[in-house]
Amino acid sequence: MSRASSDEDILDRRAQDINTVLTEATQKQTRQDPRDAWQPIYEMLLGIKPGSKSDAGIVMDAICKFCARFGREEAKHATGSQNAAQIAGILASPKKRRKKTKKPGVFTSFRIDNLKSHLKTQHPKRWKEYNALPKDEKVRAKYFIKEMPISSYLTQPSFEVRVPAGVMALLKCLYFDDGHTSLGPQFIECDNGDCIVQVAHRDQFEVIVECISSSVSYRSTSELFVVFGMRLMNMKLGEPTEKVVRDSVRLLTAINLTAFAEIFKHVSGFSIIVDGATHQDRGYLDVRLSFGLDGALHNFHFLAIPTKTLSHTGKNYAALVLTSLKALGGDAALQKLIGISSDGAANMSGCNNGFSKNVKDACRAVGGTGIVTNWCGSHQLNLVMNQLLMVFDSYVDFRSTLGSEISFTHTHESVKQRVGSCPHYAETRWDSIYESCKFLTLNRNALVALQKDKHRSRSSRLWWIVLAVVTDLARSAKLCFEQLQYKHVTVSEQYAALKKLATTHQNRFEENGPDGKLCISDVKTEFEICKASAFSGGLYEMLDVPSQFDLILVVRDAVQEFIDGVLGITLSVEDTIYAMTTPKEIALITHGAFAELFSRHEDRLTRQYGDSVTGKIWAQHRSLKDEYQVDRRFRNNVDRLSKLQTTEACGDLDFDRRFGELKTFALGLASIPAGTHSVESDFSVLKRVKSKHRGQLTNFSLEGELHASQYLQLVKVAHKAVVD
């Protein structure tokens, strides 16, 4: 027994010795080299951010802030001898070279030589810049702050905006004859041509912008700060001088153009709306931008470019616009242009040397595709209205007599006191004639009595009947004009409004003829003449039969010409635009038409979103068509969405989730402007702002005033695009 127990003791001691040896070996293996330990100074010194920690608070891993913020830098191009050596090495080794990773560097051991090796090989340029900075924690921390030119829309009492060199060059080119003219102390020029714009008092700046957008003059704006500050006993907003107000307006222009430069980077396509005009002997080319972004349509004023001594030709206009676009976005901006909308004038849409042709040629030269040229729908309807009025001019000298009747209400004080002054109409916008005709129609009896008292020659009964007919026809035309001039109206919506206008008059005047074809009915025409106003029926009965017959023929011909003119309006200059702005239109478009439309924009979409987006859009369109045909509930939902406005329909969460890429494509096409009414509204602002009382206002300050009304909205859109 004693011998057996002694053997067991020996075995136990041996086992304990083995465990001790293994434990010590394990401890030796896990013991960390002091050089591998994390040091807090590494974050400031090397730009390495600590990650997860153990229960004891020891840093277990860290990530390279250069990788996370800037990505890995591209390798330098090899020289000829280096290329030969690399090729020889590749041929000698059957192993393929690993692709360069885009993942950020993560470290579990923190030897400083290994960390520096990563920085020198993967981030040589950035590391050289960072290493040259003062070894101050606050200074170096700013190096990794994301440079967002439109970071100003944050709740900060002051802000800075980095204005790109292209924007600065454009401002100097457009608004200064001398390119070296200083823009002011708020513009701090950098070595690379960029400028840092500093706004020290954000609240003061934004209040100034609000005042300017309300057409308050610089001097009045400056005085308002003092008046309200003293009344409220709170001078928190300060007392800006007139010079400070002027400088703020110029800052605003630079900030908004910087916002456009950011938007150009993030949209897949945009369109331009242009129109030229002369104001106070100075020529301007007004340009607006239309684009779809983040599920919404946007239409912003871009520039009112002073043409200076240039003539108003399409070639000169194109050069000004192309220079402006390239200054903000380079050739990439021209590649994204998908639509041009103009008033259809010869210098705009001429096939030889018009504005549209010059711009399209320049865009195609750098790879732009799918550019559509639109002729403003409201301008075309205006021409149709003019043709209608010309028929009545030749019959009863309608517009000349109308002018005399309007003058009568303005020249006699007694007439003004009794009936008021008749509104004038604009010869360039015939929808305005409705208000003039309506006023005279409502006050006809009083005007006839006043003309009799003043022994003034009165208009004929026939003319008053024609006035009533024109008033009746112009009423529906004016409603159509209003629908054509919505800010975000799409091409499809304009076509729908025009079709509704034509259908309304077809239902009122047409019937089946002897051959089964629709034609204007004499009976319906006579009925419409008699009920056009309260007095038209009575006056019609006073006419002799030949005069009644002639009147019916004239009205019939005028209505027929009007209907044909409305139905003949084509918005696209060169070809047919496939309607694809609502979910229903997307579902109903044929595969062939969709393929043709998609092929025009495939290269542009690939450049913006990558190679996979084209396959996704095609698959989503096919899925939408198939499901629309077989699923009744889905079809009803699509039909419901299609009755909403385009932006509301595209904002549906389920549609966005399932057909996101297809929606983005369709929204871009929907943003192609159907008219130039928004540009004309800019000219209205221009005429109000730069009047005979403010004749010395510079073009630079004028541009700022045009930008003031859209500042907050534009910066929000640009900021959201950058953040997303």
In the predicted model, what is the mean pLDDT of the chain?
81
Q: 185-194, 318-327, 345-354, 598-607 — which one is most confidently predicted on average?
A: 318-327
Alpha helices in 176-287 (DSSP H): 202-213, 218-232, 242-266
Give 713's contacts (C-beta < 8 A, 6+ positions apart): 300
CB 297 within 8 A of CB 711: no
Counting residues of the chain whose pLDDT is more than 70, the rounded percentage is 83
Q: How far, in Å, CA of 708 to CA of 533, rounded?
A: 46
Q: How far, in Å, CA of 572 to CA of 576, rounded?
A: 6
User: First CA to last CA across the chain, in angstroms?
Assistant: 83
Q: How far, in Å, CA of 263 to CA of 149, rounded?
A: 11
CB 165 within 8 A of CB 175: no
Q: How high is the pLDDT of residue 83?
A: 41
Is it the case that residue 676 has pLDDT exceeding 90? no
Q: How high is the pLDDT of residue 7?
A: 57
Q: How far, in Å, CA of 167 to CA of 327, rounded?
A: 6
Q: How high is the pLDDT of residue 702?
A: 82
Banded model confidence at residue 97, pLDDT cuts 50, 70, 90: very low
Beta strands 62-64 and 106-107: pairing type? antiparallel
3-state secondary structure at position 593: helix
Is it the case that residue 392 has pLDDT exceeding 90? yes
Is it the case that residue 102 has pLDDT exceeding 90? no
Planar angle of CA 409, 476, 541, nearest 5 degrees: 65
Instruction: Please give the residue that has the higher pLDDT: either 23 or 351.
Output: 351
Banded model confidence at residue 724, pLDDT cuts 50, 70, 90: low
Give 129's contacts (C-beta < 8 A, 6+ positions apart): 143
The residue-averaged pLDDT of 196-210 equals 88
Comparing CA positions, the residue from 361, 215, 365, 354 lying closest to residue 274 is 354
- The DSSP code for 336 is T
Q: How high is the pLDDT of residue 502?
A: 92
- Dihedral (CA of 350, 356, 361, 364) sign: negative
Q: How far, in Å, CA of 371 to CA of 151, rounded?
A: 32
| 512-546 pLDDT, tens digit each | 877 767 888 999 999 999 999 999 999 999 999 99
DSSP notation for 388-434: HHHHHHHHH-HHHHHHHHHHHHHH-HHHHHHH-PPPP-BTTBGGGHH
CB 347 within 8 A of CB 354: yes
The residue-averaged pLDDT of 167-185 equals 71
Banded model confidence at residue 257, pLDDT cuts 50, 70, 90: very high
Counting residues of the chain whose pLDDT is more than 90, the rounded percentage is 22
Banded model confidence at residue 709, pLDDT cuts 50, 70, 90: confident
| 275-312 pLDDT, tens digit each | 887 777 778 888 999 988 877 888 999 998 888 888 88
Q: 14-28, 570-584, 665-679 — which one is most confidently predicted on average?
A: 665-679
Radius of gyration of the chain from Cα atoms?
36
Overall residue count recorded for the chain in this entry: 724
CB 168 within 8 A of CB 193: yes
Which helix (H) or strand (E) element contains residue 534?
A: none
Give 647's contacts (C-beta < 8 A, 6+ positions apart): 295, 296, 297, 488
Judged by average pLDDT, the poorest of 18-32, 207-221, 461-475, 657-671 is 18-32
**The model's pTM:** 0.70
| 548-566 pLDDT, tens digit each | 999 999 999 999 999 999 9
Which helix (H) or strand (E) element contains residue 234?
A: none
The residue-averaged pLDDT of 104-113 equals 88
Q: How far, in Å, CA of 707 to CA of 301, rounded?
A: 7
The residue-averaged pLDDT of 607-617 equals 81
CB 494 within 8 A of CB 675: yes
Per-residue H/E/C for 261-330: HHHHHHCCCEEEEEEEEEECCEEEEEEEEEEEECCEEEEEEEEEEECCCCCCCHHHHHHHHHHHHHHHHH
Number of neighbours of residue 627 by Cβ within 10 angstroms: 15
Q: How far, in Å, CA of 687 to CA of 304, rounded?
A: 12
Q: How far, in Å, CA of 705 to CA of 690, rounded?
A: 10
Which helix (H) or strand (E) element contains residue 440?
A: helix 433-442
Specify the amino acid at residue 81.
S
Contacts of residues 47-52 at CB distance under 8 Å and 24 or more positions apart, as own/partner, are 47/119, 47/127, 47/130, 47/140, 47/143, 47/144, 48/107, 48/110, 48/115, 51/106
Banded model confidence at residue 602, pLDDT cuts 50, 70, 90: confident
Is it the case that residue 78 has pLDDT exceeding 70? no
Banded model confidence at residue 77, pLDDT cuts 50, 70, 90: very low
Which helix (H) or strand (E) element contains residue 94?
A: none
User: What residue has token string 């074809």?
Assistant: 517
Is it the case that residue 85 has pLDDT exceeding 50? no
